[in-house]
Amino acid sequence: EALLIGVDLHKSFGPTPALAGASVSVRAGEVVALMGPSGSGKSTLLHCLAGILRPDQGRVHYRDVELTGLSDTARSALRRREFGFVFQFGQLVPELTCLENVALPLRLERVPRREAERRATEWLDRLEVTDVARKRPGEISGGQGQRVAVARALVTNPKVVFADEPTGALDSLNGERVMRLLAESAREAGAAVLLVTHEPRVAAYSDREVVVRDGRARSLEQVA
């Protein structure tokens, strides 16, 4: 049963459409990889499904809610409550320690500091970066930073994690490690993952690959 569905999505930034009728669905707990050439519309599709970007045409459904029918404020609130995000460059707050970075989404939801830091510590352990808790993002490696970013994305127990090239800035060994930990911990937490990647070795950790080409999306089975 689908948790998140995008139907016939269109989006243009200029004369050439970035999305030209893309449809995709994600089931609860499923890890889906969006693959395809650079400029084919993968990030635009991810942003539309995440409710960050409003499509020109088409609809996005999350459970029984039509995301595309919500106000910006209601969409932002739903995003904070139900979704987690990981980007190519961790986008951690440089002034905060890694522990404080992971605890931040909980603090914004008014979880008391002690409880927030306890849960953040559990996620740092889970992502095998216990030792960076007291360090600031500038003092750790790229691979450690992405694992901290994954911990921050999962700490709120999201139903869907959106990951846009989460391993794009890492070498292949660290990239695979981050992806393995992301896929494993999302599965344990019961979160679905929608991932953009152009690396087959990263996509190999997904349950299903969807190929995006010229702004349209097709499951790999349909392509074959």
State which residue, 100 or 165, has the beta carbon closest to ligand ADP: 165
**DSSP code of 84?**
E
Residue 210 has phi, psi (to 5 degrees) of -120, 125
State which residue, 3 or 18, has the beta carbon closest to ligand ADP: 18
DSSP assignment of 71-83 equals: -HHHHHHHHHHHE
Residues 6 to 35 in contact with ligand ADP, rule: CB under 6 A: 13, 18
Angle, helix 98-108 to helix 142-154, in steps of 10 degrees: 20
Q: What is the CA radius of gyration of the chain?
A: 17
3-state secondary structure of 60: strand
Q: Which stretch binds ligand ADP (CB under 6 A): 38-46, 58-66, 111-119, 135-143?
A: 38-46
Q: How many residues bind ligand ADP (CB under 6 A)?
A: 18
Residues 185 to 214 in contact with ligand ADP, rule: CB under 6 A: 196
In the bound complex, what is the minimum distance in angstroms from residue 178's beta carbon to ligand ADP?
19
Residues 39 to 98 in contact with ligand ADP, rule: CB under 6 A: 39-44, 47, 52-53, 72-73, 75-76
Residue 153 makes contact with ligand ADP by CB under 6 A? no
Sorted by sequence, the CB contacts under 8 Å of residue 29 that are 6+ apart come out as: 186, 187, 190, 191, 192
Contact 26, 196 (CB under 8 A): no
In the bound complex, what is the minimum distance in angstroms from residue 219's beta carbon to ligand ADP?
17
State which residue, 76 or 130, has the beta carbon closest to ligand ADP: 76
Positions in the binding site for ligand ADP (CB under 6 A): 13, 18, 36, 38-44, 47, 52-53, 72-73, 75-76, 196
